[in-house]
Amino acid sequence: MPSYLPRYRRNRFFRIQEVADTIGLSTRTIQRLVKRGEFPPPLQISERIIVWTEASIDLWMSDCEKAAHERRVAEMKEIRTRRK
pTM of the predicted protein model: 0.75
Crossing angle of helices 16-23 and 54-83, rounded to 10°? 30
Which domains can be identified in the chain, with CATH numbers?
7-83 (1.10.1660.10)
What pLDDT, on the 0 to 100 scale, is given for residue 77? Answer: 87
Predicted local distance difference test score (pLDDT) of residue 11: 81
Distance CA 26, CA 34 (A): 12
The answer to whether 15 and 43 have CB atoms below 8 angstroms apart is no
The pLDDT of residue 6 is 55
- φ and ψ of 55, to 5 deg: -65, -40
Residue 13 amino acid letter: F
pLDDT tens digit string along 12-67? Answer: 999 999 999 999 999 999 999 999 999 999 999 999 999 999 999 999 999 999 99
What SS3 state is found at 78? helix
